[in-house]
Structure 1
Amino acid sequence: MTELSAASIAFRDARVLDGSGRPPFTASVRVADGRIDAISEAPLAADRVVDLDGSYLAPGFIDMHAHSELRLFENPGAREKLTQGITTEVLGQDGVSVAPVPPNLTDEWAERVKSLDGTLGETWPWHTVSGYLEALESVEPAVNCAYYAPHGNIRSMLAGFEDRPLSGEHVVAAGPVTGQRLDRPKSDHDTAPGELDAIRQELEVALEEGAFGMSKGMIYPPSSYARDDELVALADTLAKRDSFMISHVWNETDRVVESIDRYLDICRRGGCHAHVSHLKVGGQQNWGDSEAVLDLFDDAVDRGQRVTFDQYPYTAGSTMLTALLPPWARQGDSEAIRHRLNSAAVRDRIAADISQPGDWENLAYAAGSWDNILITRTGSGRYQGDTIADIAAEMDREPVDAMCELLVAEELDVTMADFVMAETDIERFLADDRGTFCTDGIFGGKPHPRAIGAFSRILERYVRERNVLSPELLAYKAAGNPADILGLRDRGYVREGYIADLVAFDLDSVSANATYENPFQFSDGMEYVLVGGEIAVRDGELTGERNGDVLRSYEEWGGATRPELDRAADD
């Protein structure tokens, strides 16, 4: 037992936010053997007593969209998350991640995801979801971790990185959202029967090995190659376990309403719960469409669907710089993309496509100016903190040429922040109780500050300063609702018998210090953070405790099916 451990800890004079959305109440909360032992209006005795003097005590926050799959191997202490009050991270996002991977594509997958998820420094020793979770468990992370089965990885088990329908699938036109899903004859590859059944089986295996749901990323190959029938079949597989699909939708700018409508329809047809990743409205011409998006959610709920989303509180997004390329320019493996970008004719075509709206996610057009595309990381470390406009001026080239030169020189290993959103839309989504929160943190270089400060920024800017949401709604969206979505039976709430993932904070002192210029400034105001009953943060500083659990769906659910949780019955 370490110096900071104790058989029991009591937090007295706490303003308890229990995670349900009910108003705060004053109580003492005692923790023993890793769980919440007692909650009482009267002071509770314990081996260690902490007087919170009216500070809030809430369930530990759940980061519903994280990219720490490989970062945790190098930084298992997770300081950037704990200092925001985050006690659980959900990995395997955007349909492209680290497991499962076919043995012959391990190196290619490592190359493709390094901008999002980092590197391991060696060949991945796993090929399955269970193998990855066991490897993650071996480094003893300081935070709890859950994992989604990434659709693109599962698809690559059958079709590699080919843009084609799976055999056994009725090929349909998917409409104008991407401009890529047209009726066409089956290719020469469509000879093996039953690929659609096989991908469903691969998803079943991932769920049996501990995945909580399936993520998809409709701008990231090979997840973006899915036809709607394939996704409906996978939604049906998820529905049989009362699991859910998580989606980076096809378009978050000019066709955001249409894309979300299409996604909700897929989940409705398949019968599964729909969760939208990093919900946003990009492009000034689309600002205000948040109202139409929430209307879609209302209509879906009225039809009996369950709809949720996650969100980060910044006007800039962040992803791989390759996402600025038209879909045709991203096809093939990494070497093929780099070779293509060396062509002057290809660059001219890219420039023409980027200069106008189209049937694809044109983030450069949505940004409105190359000054709004900020480079956050490169493999070499050059140009971090510069805009594409800055780089083009230094190279004395047109911006598209400069972007392509940068991608080729850095072997595609470049990430960016793109300033495309409006505060009004952010606030409208923050106020909606179907939402959850996320960092969507992409590390390396000078990362987007959301990786280090997202939850603290919500507390500081949108709870304390702007009153967009109350402290109790914050706790529900940061802990209770995520735990319900994931099916965590004894987490996400301050309840007797629940695992003691807890955060104590002084709302007046919370400060998200991370900026675009200096992102690695950690948050202030988190007085205590407990993970599994052990103190991971005390007086805002890490203690060195690494008591996180690697969560597996079948263990948390108590079986193969996500439980129907009735928290009210627990009161």
Structure 2
Amino acid sequence: MFDVVVRNGRLVDGTGNPWTHLDVAIKEGRIAAIGRLDKADATAVIDAQGQVVAPGFIDPHVHSDLLCLRPEVHKVKVMQGITTELFGQDGISVAPVSERTKPLWQHQLRSLDGDIGDWSWNSVEDYLNYLSISNLNGNAAYLVPHGAVRTLVMGFAGRTSTKAEAEEMRSLVENAMEQGAVGLSSGLIYPPNLYSDIEELTEICKGAAKYHGCFVVHIRNESNRMLEAVDEMIEVARRSGVRLHLSHFKVAGQANRRNYSIALKKLEDARAGGIEVTFDQYPYTAGSTVFHSILPPWMHDGGTNRMLENLRDPDVQSRIKKAWLEDDSYENWVRNCGWENIVITAVGSEANQSIEGLNLIQIAETRRQAPEDAAIDLLLEESANITMVTHWGVEEDIISAMQHPLQMVGSDSIFGGKPHPRLYGTYPRVLGHFTRELKALQLEDAIRRMTGAPAQLLRLQDRGLLREGYYADIVVFDPDKVADRATYERPLEASVGISHVLVNGEIVVLDGEYTGCTPGQVIYRRV
């Protein structure tokens, strides 16, 4: 007697192989049998006639580190078939911290990861243990965040590290890997990571490489200096021996489009030279991050509180405005995309909630200010607790990267306010818009990029494929109907076409409805 049998579907196993007519039987959380199981007895039977049965989707770039603890909020992920997520992104996350650095990160991350009140953990081990006894919709793995490690050693100092400091950071990375992290992350446009140099990055990556972990990185520039930024990361991987994974691969700004193919060739050449490099991508022509990232790097020295203090200085404001107009040495969203393409998605206070969904030109008009003045005032009014969407590219470039063999799908989804539609729609959008409608991908290859490929990145030995003995993370969907419905104007619209989702053998989505089941597990690094 099996717990669940999924019958009559077209099984796509996550390897890229063509679909087959096979049933799947589940017992005690794992796939017990795959074959023609017409006569098998089970407590529950799912009839997948006319539908695809695939491994649960693995999202390699999310910001669910805190709100995964709110299942009724976090359910939007399993509703689109995501059964495993990779936390700890961009070098800015919730552990390791100390009693000194914890308040700094609680403030710094409020707009990105949400606010659940005080954190009861300090170490990575404490955090993962906390997750393991919590009610999770899906599974969670964790990256050691560079910024959290750096602040334990240097605070938010706006300078490069000494050799001794970098070695201490490496030791902390190794400690976190021993506690169960699967890799290391950094975001080189975010403080304090942005102050690091290639020597520091190489040293800390050696700590991840020692435990066969990956280095997942938001590169230093994704626009006019993107090629140099890619070169920097390839060199870090070459020196350290770490496996390299580039987050949300893109080239922002119309003037930089020519660099897309050049950057992809650099990754291919790195592979040919023996460096294991991959990248993820969300299927949209706009990104989303914290609003204070529009400020030049020198504004972040000392952390958020000092940034806000400095922002009140009229002379500093003048320097910022000049940088927005002229400085191309950093990821200058204002210069590269324009105020009209920067949209506020979430603010912390009720007083400014009416601006959610408006771009900075529209906001400036309502406030009777210049856009640059409105931006500075909003940062002060909200204590920098703001997120934004930036419109940066064209779909043609999205497709060219999507079809590359090193690509995998990742949402980079952020909760709150009027979020980027990728929170609700990433995976159905790939399956519907890009696979069924545009035929940019074959269905089996699209699923590989959501399952087997990220499982390989994370070295998951029993997830990401439909195999006997593997954990029963499974999604069932209608390939003719699956589609995203969320838009920039209406970003909270649920996707359609995902009928059933199982996590560790338990049904979390049944006939398109969330069951309230919370069987998610923490995935620790394998020794």
TM-score (norm 1): 0.89
Is 1:366 aligned to residue 362 of structure 2?
no
Distance across 2 between alignment mates of 1:153 and 1:256: 25
Helix, strand or coil at the partner of 2:362: helix
- The alpha carbon displacement at 1:75 in A equals 3.1
**2:323 paired residue among 347, 353, 356:** 353
Residue 380 of structure 1 corresponds to which residue in structure 2?
349
Is 1:534 aligned to residue 506 of structure 2?
yes
Residue 133 of structure 2 corresponds to which residue in structure 1?
138
Distance across 2 between alignment mates of 1:42 and 1:141: 31
- Pairwise CA RMSD: 1.4
Residue 22 of structure 1 corresponds to which residue in structure 2?
17
**2:407 paired residue among 412, 435, 439:** 435
- The alpha carbon displacement at 1:7 in A equals 4.2
Residue 180 of structure 2 corresponds to which residue in structure 1?
210
Distance across 1 between alignment mates of 2:211 and 2:127: 22
Distance across 2 between alignment mates of 1:397 and 1:54: 56
- The alpha carbon displacement at 1:84 in A equals 0.8
Distance across 1 between alignment mates of 2:39 and 2:485: 35
Q: Within 5 Å, which residues of 2 pair with 1:164-183?
A: 164-167=159-162, 169=163
Distance across 2 between alignment mates of 1:273 and 1:288: 27
Q: Is the 8 A contact 1:76 1:140 kept in 2?
A: no
Distance across 2 between alignment mates of 1:293 and 1:14: 39
- The alpha carbon displacement at 1:421 in A equals 1.5
Residue 515 of structure 1 corresponds to which residue in structure 2?
487
Helix, strand or coil at the partner of 1:104: coil
Distance across 1 between alignment mates of 2:16 and 2:405: 9
Superposed CA deviations along residues 108-144 of structure 1, whole A, max 9, x for unmatched, are 11000111111112x2111111111122223210100
Q: 1:44 to 1:271 in 2, by over 3 A?
A: farther
Helix, strand or coil at the partner of 2:292: helix
Superposed CA deviations along residues 166-200 of structure 1, whole A, max 9, x for unmatched, are 33x2xxxxxxxxxxxxxxxxxxxxxxxx3232111
Q: Is the 8 A contact 2:167 2:204 kept in 1?
A: no
Superposed CA deviations along residues 351-383 of structure 1, whole A, max 9, x for unmatched, are 21111351111111121x311110000001421
Question: Hey, which bits of structure 1, 4+ residues long, moved more than 6 A?
Answer: none
Q: Within 5 Å, which residues of 2 pair with 1:117-516?
A: 117-121=113-117, 123-167=118-162, 169=163, 194-367=164-337, 369-381=338-350, 382=352, 383-516=355-488
Residue 568 of structure 1 corresponds to which residue in structure 2?
none
Is 1:552 aligned to residue 521 of structure 2?
no
- The alpha carbon displacement at 1:398 in A equals 1.3
Structure 1 window deviating more from structure 2 (233-242 vs 435-444): it is: 233-242
Q: 1:16 to 1:288 in 2, by over 3 A?
A: farther
Gapped regions of structure 1 (runs ≥ 5) = 1-5, 170-193, 560-571
Distance across 2 between alignment mates of 1:321 and 1:143: 29
Residue 51 of structure 1 corresponds to which residue in structure 2?
47
Is 1:109 aligned to residue 105 of structure 2?
yes
Q: Is the 8 A contact 2:71 2:137 kept in 1?
A: no
**2:67 paired residue among 58, 71, 76:** 71
Superposed CA deviations along residues 456-491 of structure 1, whole A, max 9, x for unmatched, are 111111111011111111111101011111111110
Helix, strand or coil at the partner of 2:423: helix
Helix, strand or coil at the partner of 1:216: strand
Superposed CA deviations along residues 140-177 of structure 1, whole A, max 9, x for unmatched, are 1010011100001011111011122333x2xxxxxxxx
Distance across 1 between alignment mates of 2:11 and 2:39: 15
- Matched pairs, number: 523
Distance across 1 between alignment mates of 2:416 and 2:37: 47
Helix, strand or coil at the partner of 2:90: coil
- The alpha carbon displacement at 1:93 in A equals 0.2
Q: Is the 8 A contact 1:10 1:44 kept in 2?
A: no
- The alpha carbon displacement at 1:271 in A equals 0.8
* AA in 2 matched with 1:356: E
* AA in 2 matched with 1:296: K
Residue 176 of structure 1 corresponds to which residue in structure 2?
none
Superposed CA deviations along residues 280-319 of structure 1, whole A, max 9, x for unmatched, are 1101101242211110111001101101111111111101
